[in-house]
Amino acid sequence: MAGNSQASASAEETASISKIQSLLSAKDDTSRFVGLALLKSVLDNSQALRESEETVTVLWESISPKFLDRLIKTASRSHASVKNGQDMLDLAVSVLHTFATLLPEKARKDGRMTGRIPLLVACLLYWYKFNPRKSEHGS
């Protein structure tokens, strides 16, 4: 019986991965955003997936670097909808962090990952400039 439940779980993970890859390769950004959110959730909740370098690498390669860049840029330009901009930025940074910890070293050094750094730094500087944190003393 245990073998059947493991096979069933594996089949569900494969279906989830296929669905996520389909969403990430969609033409519209809304589908891609949903795919990214699902991807983050699946990776956070599946130790077996996290430990599979091959699967992690394939999933990473399913994400459009241009889409991640757009999420980060939109977040740094979101004056009208600060909450939505913050959500986009949080997801992009969270996904990048997850893959930075899970990808093999060679993939972490690749331009798909390192190419996001300048934009992240620019966004961080923007957010700090326009959203300075108040000190604990209220000054």
Average pLDDT in the 50-62 region? Answer: 94
Q: How far is CA 8 from CA 3, 5, 20, 27, 117, in A?
A: 8, 5, 18, 31, 39
Q: Would the pLDDT of 64 be above 60?
A: yes
Residue 86 confidence (pLDDT)? 78
Q: Give the residue, 12 or 101, on which the prediction is more confident.
A: 101
What average pLDDT does the segment 33-57 reach? 93
Give me the percent of the chain exceeding a pLDDT of 90.
56
Q: What is the residue whose two structure tokens read 């996904």?
A: 95
Question: pTM to 2 decimals?
Answer: 0.80
